[in-house]
Amino acid sequence: MLVAHAGHWAVGILYTIPVFAVLIALRVSIVRERRREAAGGDAESADAATDAPAAGSDEPVAASDEPAR
């Protein structure tokens, strides 16, 4: 038989949707990182800024390499 019925097509499509979603998310991540590096921003320091504890948190804050002003 040359053509599968709709059930076979539906299973194939449902299987490939998450695969393509992961591939697209990976590609978006790579593009964002390259743009951040091209703009002169350090990807690690940008990530570190988002890892900072929330205001009023009891977590200790690590000392910065920057001198105090």
Residue 13 has what pLDDT?
Answer: 92
Tell me what the mean pLDDT of segment 56-68 comes to: 64
pLDDT per residue as tens digits for the range 3-28: 778 888 899 999 999 999 999 999 99
- Sorted by where each begins, the domain ranges of the chain are 7-41
DSSP 3-state percent helix, strand, coil across the chain (nearest 5): 60, 0, 40
Residue 28 corresponds to which amino acid?
V
pLDDT given at position 60: 64
Q: What is the mean pLDDT of the chain?
A: 78
